[in-house]
């Protein structure tokens, strides 16, 4: 059974710092992996989608990497801003049945 873990559960960093969020998964037979952000009480916004054949994806200040063999993905945020404060979730799409399994997220707080 696929399990997706995100550590730490919460993180506070000063504005301007670069930071890395971690996501690990137990079954490497994934089709793709997606990073989302969720603002309090709202839906999810897709940030980056990495196909299983890719190693990384970049969008602006965000860079996501994927290492299938070790069951890990990281989301790198450069030059953090207060507006980056949100919960970040990773989700894996399984090959076998296309079910999407989410981690419980990392709650990020950028200190002004």
Partner 1 sequence: KAGVTQTPRYLIKTRGQQVTLSCSPISGHRSVSWYQQTPGQGLQFLFEYFSETQRNKGNFPGRFSGRQFSNSRSEMNVSTLELGDSALYLCASSSTPGVDTQYFGPGTRLTVL
Q: Which residues bind partner 1 (CB under 8 A)?
A: 31-32, 34, 36, 41-46, 49, 89, 91, 93, 97-105
Q: Which is nearer to partner 1, 5 or 15 (CB)?
A: 5
Provide the minimum distance between the beta carbon of 57 and partner 1 in the complex, in angstroms, as a whole number.
11
DSSP 13-70: EETT--EEEEEEES---EEEEEEEEE-TTS-EEEEEEEETT-SEEEETTEEEEEETTT
Residue 15 or 101: the one with the smaller Cβ distance to partner 1 is 101
β 106-111/10-14 pair status: parallel
Q: Is residue 4 within 8 Å of residue 52, measured between CB atoms?
A: no
CB of 43 vs partner 1, minimal distance in Å: 4
Q: Which is nearer to partner 1, 91 or 110 (CB)?
A: 91
Choice between 15 and 22, CB closer to partner 1: 22
- Angle, CA 10 vertex, CA 6 and CA 16 arms, to 5°: 105
Kindly state the smallest distance separating residue 54's Cβ from partner 1, in Å: 13
């Amino acid at each position: 059974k696929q399990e997706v873990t995100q550590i730490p559960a919460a993180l506070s960093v000063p504005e301007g710092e670069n930071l890395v969020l971690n996501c690990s998964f137990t079954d490497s037979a994934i089709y793709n992996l997606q990073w989302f952000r969720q603002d309090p009480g709202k839906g999810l916004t897709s940030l980056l989608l990495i196909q299983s054949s890719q190693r990384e994806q970049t969008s602006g200040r965000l860079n996501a990497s994927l290492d299938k063999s070790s069951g890990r993905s990281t989301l790198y945020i450069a030059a953090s801003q207060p507006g980056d404060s949100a919960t970040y979730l990773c989700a894996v799409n399984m090959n076998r049945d296309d079910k999407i399994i989410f981690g419980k997220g990392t709650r990020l707080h950028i200190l002004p």
